[in-house]
Structure 1
Amino acid sequence: MRFGLLGTGPWASRTHAVALSAHPRAELVGVWGRRPEAAQELAAAHHTTAYRDLDALLAECDAVAVALPPDVQAELGIRAAEAGCHLLLDKPVATTTGAAERLAAAAERAGVRSVVFFTLRFSPETARWIAEQRVTGGWSAGRADWYSPVFGGSESPYAASPWRQEKGALWDVGPHALSVLLPALGEVEPSGVTAVRGPGDTVHLVLRHASGASSTITVTHSAPPAAAGVSAELRGSAGVVQMPERVAPAEAAFGRAIDALLAPERHDCDLDFGVRVTRLLEAADAQLPPL
Structure 2
Amino acid sequence: MAEIDANASVRCGVAGVGSLGQHHARIYASLPKVEFVGIFETDDVRAAEICAKHNCVRFDTLEALGAACDAVSVVVPTDLHERVALPLLAAGCHLLIEKPICASLAEAERVLAAAREHDRIVQVGHIEHFNPVMSFLEKEVVAPKFITAERLAPFTPRGTEVGVVLDLMIHDIGIVLQLVQSPVKKIESVGVSLVSKTEDIANARIEFENGCVANLSTSRMSLKKVREMRVFQESGYFSFDFMRQSGHLVRTTGLLDYAGKLRTGTVDPQDPTAVPLEPVPIEKGEPLALELAHFTASVAAASQPKVGGALGRQALEVAITITEQIRAAKQA
Alignment TM-score, normalising by the size of structure 2: 0.77
Distance 1:66 1:147, change over 3 A: same
How many residues are matched? Answer: 273
Tell me the equivalent position of 1:74: 82
Distance 1:274 1:171, change over 3 A: same
**Structure 2 CA distance for aligned equivalents of residues 260 and 217 of structure 1:** 31
Comparing 111-120 with 91-100, which one deviates more in the overlay? Answer: 111-120
Q: 2:139 aligns with which of 128, 132, 149?
A: 132
Tell me the equivalent position of 2:273: none
- How far off is 1:147 after superposition? 1.1
**Structure 1 CA distance for aligned equivalents of residues 298 and 129 of structure 2:** 11
Tell me the equivalent position of 1:144: 149
The answer to whether the 8 Å contact 2:74/2:81 transfers is: yes
Structure 2: gaps spanning 5 or more residues: 1-9, 195-199, 246-283
Q: 2:289 aligns with which of 230, 240, 252?
A: 252
**Structure 2 CA distance for aligned equivalents of residues 106 and 220 of structure 1:** 34
The answer to whether the 8 Å contact 1:75/1:103 transfers is: no
Tell me the equivalent position of 1:279: 317
Residue 2 of structure 2 corresponds to residue 8 of structure 1: no
Residues 179-220 of structure 1 deviation map (CA, whole Å, 9 limit, x = unaligned): 22112212444x622210147411001101132211110111
- How far off is 1:50 after superposition? 0.7
Residue type at the aligned position of 1:94: C
SS of match in other structure, 1:265: coil
Matches within 5 A, 1:44-55: 44-55=52-63
**Structure 1 CA distance for aligned equivalents of residues 192 and 183 of structure 2:** 22
Matches within 5 A, 1:22-101: 22-101=30-109
Residues 139-180 of structure 1 deviation map (CA, whole Å, 9 limit, x = unaligned): 11111110112x1xxxxxxx232xx22423211111210122
Q: 2:177 aligns with which of 153, 175, 182?
A: 182
The answer to whether the 8 Å contact 1:40/1:49 transfers is: no
The answer to whether the 8 Å contact 1:116/1:271 transfers is: yes
SS of match in other structure, 2:163: helix
Kindly name which structure, 1 or 2, has the bigger radius of gyration based on alpha carbons: 2
SS of match in other structure, 1:165: coil
**Structure 1 CA distance for aligned equivalents of residues 65 and 193 of structure 2:** 43
Residue type at the aligned position of 1:256: A
The answer to whether the 8 Å contact 2:151/2:228 transfers is: yes
SS of match in other structure, 2:292: helix
The answer to whether the 8 Å contact 1:88/1:261 transfers is: no
The answer to whether the 8 Å contact 2:150/2:229 transfers is: yes
Structure 1: gaps spanning 5 or more residues: 152-158
- How far off is 1:22 after superposition? 0.5
**Structure 1 CA distance for aligned equivalents of residues 206 and 106 of structure 2:** 22
Residue 122 of structure 2 corresponds to residue 114 of structure 1: yes
Distance 1:35 1:188, change over 3 A: farther
Residue 229 of structure 2 corresponds to residue 229 of structure 1: no
Distance 1:69 1:88, change over 3 A: same
- How far off is 1:81 after superposition? 1.1
Tell me the equivalent position of 1:265: 303
- How far off is 1:248 after superposition? 2.8
Residue type at the aligned position of 2:168: V
The answer to whether the 8 Å contact 1:7/1:67 transfers is: yes
- How far off is 1:271 after superposition? 0.9
**Structure 2 CA distance for aligned equivalents of residues 127 and 260 of structure 1:** 19
Q: 1:241 aligns with which of 216, 238, 243?
A: 238
The answer to whether the 8 Å contact 1:130/1:180 transfers is: no
**Structure 2 CA distance for aligned equivalents of residues 251 and 217 of structure 1:** 23
**Identical-residue share of aligned pairs (%):** 21
Tell me the equivalent position of 1:211: 210
